[in-house]
Amino acid sequence: MDKNAGSVFEQREALARLRAHLRDEVRTKNAGSVFEQREALARLRAHLRDEVRTKNAGSVFEQREALARLRAHLRDEVRNRPR
């Protein structure tokens, strides 16, 4: 997931940092209501949790590449959602 996220604690910390980044992106890029922002963020969190649990990237490089692809996918999803 994150550079050297070996333990469960480190993985949780990395996920928390990613959530904060996505939360800021959702708030600043979408001028929708607070409710719409909360719903979008909840979907992103659920998607991230599933991705982190199911993907077992071996090397640090693979983990970083997988995370970059996930971020790009989520950015596109948030930008292209219907208003």
pLDDT at 57: 52
pLDDT at 52: 65
**Percent share of the chain, pLDDT over 70:** 60
Retrieve residue 60's tokens. Answer: 């640090």
Q: What is the pLDDT confidence band of residue 78, given thresholds at 50, 70 and 90?
A: confident
Count how many residues are written for the chain: 83
Closest by Cα among 31, 17, 15 to 79: 31
pTM (two decimals): 0.32
- What residues contact residue 8 under an 8 Å CB cut-off, 6+ apart? none
How far apart CA 60 and CA 39 sit, in angstroms, is: 32
